[in-house]
Amino acid sequence: MCNHRQGHDLSDKTAHKQDHQKWSRRSFLTTMGLTASMSMLLGKIPLTAYAGSPLAYALNQSESDRILVLIRLAGGNDGLNTIIPLYDYSNYKKFRPTLAIPQNELFKLNDEVGIPRYMNSLESLWKGGGMKVVNGVGYPNQDYSHFNSMKIWETASDSDNVGESGWMGRFFENQYPDFLLDGPDIPPVIQIGGTQSITFTGNNIMSVATVADSAERFEELVETGEAYNVTNLPGCRYGEKLKFVRAVSNLNYRYTDIIKEAYDRSKNDVEYVGDDDFFGAGLARQLAFVARLIKGNLGTRVYMVELDGFDTHEAQAYQHMELMTELANAVSKFYEDLATANLSDKVLSMTFSEFGRTIQENASEGTDHGAAAPVLFFGGDLNGGGMEGELPSLSNLGEYEDFPYTTDFRSIYATVLQDWMCVDGELVDKVMGKSFEKLSGLVNACNSSQPVGLANNGVVNIIDAQARYDGNGNIAIHYGIASANRVRVELFNMAGQPVQVLVDQHQQQGNHQCQFNPHAKKLPAGQYLYRIRAGEDVASGSVGVF
């Protein structure tokens, strides 16, 4: 993969613009209300509350009731103006003559670092051990493209070999490969805000979409039971297609009733601020919804929310101040709200962003794409709060005069899975692709006597199942089996009703495919599910007919 740092120099705005066009492609679809629906037409099912996700199945096998909230800071957060280096303030001031925050406007976390005074709503969390900073988080051979770098974070990949599956998606897949047709009773993961995340995509399981791309969409979901309006659309062929994809998408909000029940039986016991933030992400509002669902005992174990606007190439000072004020206020109110129900110890929140920013401010009083940055953790069960990892040096700089990473972000993921989500170490290594060093002081370690382990004792008989069009109107379902077995491949509609048996015979070890023409079979346009059963093993996926 190419290194994209030079493409983001302000002297070369063409490459920067091209990257943003690529980066915002999903945002455009979201704005049109079509993200989930379009993914269906491409053969990927948008189960918006992550219906049937094996994460719930897996996590429910353990005795842990801990919850994880992922807070995405989209655009590349400036870590140097988040955690201020008092230990080398003179260099900080030299590199940032206009952006450096004066020392008298800082709240000291300790003698070495501080945070801007406008983030002082986090003071009680910090002093109470409910906030922790992990310094210098990044990865080798930094890619400075928004799209590529976020994909690296979502897939937990190496920058020179970026995968297509998400780190949690691989976990889902291992634990419950038939999740489309045999799912849990509760939504295991909910995302409010932002575009569809690769984080929850497996190797053989299609991408799963978000519950709502905004707080407003989520509010509509819990009030009306539908995420997409199918009325008052244009009376033309475009309007008919739009109605179809939206209606099909609405069918997949199978958890709407129980989400609404949890939402209705709880309330927010504090007043959140910043609900109408400038960028429309509404982090405070998103976290207010999350708090209500947690307090309403929904049972969902993983949430993702988003605060956008961190690509601060120019006029950064005010913009970054607004964003970090929103983050600090939203998080502090979120934990204050949880504390009213004695739940703050059960919820761990962590920030993540595709990269940091340059140390040197640019000619437009902003910063450009950098490398490492701090990750912030919040929660009542952190191991004493404080700091983890090496403080970044302002003199020993990287190739592009930014911070070289000192903590691999995948070590953080591995630690969260093992020590917070109670996942067995062998499964953690499988999900991450290899073993990463754990951060021993991050959280109070899980004490579950039944950690989540490898499904089927790690034995996988069905390999690389996927469906695709062959260019001639035929759909081919490809799969491999690790040992000779009786194999049955069935097609189902979205209601889980059988449509057709495609294969029912003994097959030898190796790669196989079954092919059918949906139009010859007179299948109506829409989304279909397929299930492959080989012996006792089963896998499922989806395919769109259009």
Does the pLDDT value for residue 10 go beyond 70?
Answer: no
Q: How is residue 411 written in tokens?
A: 């070590």
Whether residue 144 contacts residue 3, with contact meaning beta carbons closer than 8 Å, is answered with yes
Helix (H) or strand (E) holding 475: strand 475-481
Please provide the distance, in angstroms rounded to a whole number, between the alpha carbons at the two ends of the chain: 34
Enumerate residues 6+ apart whose C-beta is below 8 A from 190.
Answer: 49, 50, 211, 259, 290, 293, 300, 302, 303, 304
469 SS3 class = strand
Tens digits of residue pLDDT in 176-199: 666 666 666 777 778 888 877 778
Q: State how far the Cα of 344 lies from the Cα of 380, in Å rounded to an integer.
A: 5
418 or 191: which leads in pLDDT: 418
Q: Tell whether the torsion through CA atoms of 481, 482, 486 and 488 is positive or negative.
A: negative
Lowest mean pLDDT among 108-117, 320-329, 460-469, 486-495: 460-469
Helix (H) or strand (E) holding 35: helix 35-41
Q: How is residue 118 written in tokens?
A: 């406008």
pLDDT for res 232 = 73
- With bands split at pLDDT 50, 70 and 90, how would you rate the model's confidence at 384? confident
161 SS3 class = strand
Lowest mean pLDDT among 71-75, 201-205, 384-388: 201-205
Token pair 């016991």 in the structure block, residue: 269
Tens digits of residue pLDDT in 421-445: 888 888 899 889 999 999 988 988 7
pLDDT for res 391 = 93
Lowest mean pLDDT among 6-10, 91-95, 159-163: 6-10
Query: Where do runs of H (alpha helix) occur along 194-339?
Result: 215-224, 237-251, 256-264, 283-295, 316-339
Q: How far is CA 434 from the centre of its chain?
A: 21
Tell me the CATH number of domain 460-545, given options 2.40.160.210, 3.40.50.10540, 2.60.40.3080, 3.40.1010.10: 2.60.40.3080
- With bands split at pLDDT 50, 70 and 90, how would you rate the model's confidence at 335? very high
Q: State how far the Cα of 93 lies from the Cα of 472, in Å rounded to an integer.
A: 63
- With bands split at pLDDT 50, 70 and 90, how would you rate the model's confidence at 319? very high
pLDDT for res 33 = 35
Task: Tell me the domain boundaries of the chain.
Answer: 5-432, 460-545
Does the pLDDT value for residue 27 go beyond 70?
Answer: no
Q: State how far the Cα of 421 lies from the Cα of 265, in Å rounded to an integer.
A: 26
pLDDT for res 52 = 33
Lowest mean pLDDT among 111-115, 169-173, 324-328, 342-346: 169-173
34 or 193: which leads in pLDDT: 193
Whether residue 402 contacts residue 356, with contact meaning beta carbons closer than 8 Å, is answered with yes
The rounded percent of the chain whose pLDDT value lies above 70 is 75
Mean pLDDT over residues 160-187, rounded?
A: 73
pLDDT for res 205 = 56
Tens digits of residue pLDDT in 69-80: 999 999 999 999
pLDDT for res 61 = 42
Lowest mean pLDDT among 19-28, 304-313, 390-399, 497-506: 19-28
The listed range with the strongest mean pLDDT (1-5, 10-14, 103-107, 239-243) is 103-107
Whether residue 135 contacts residue 374, with contact meaning beta carbons closer than 8 Å, is answered with yes
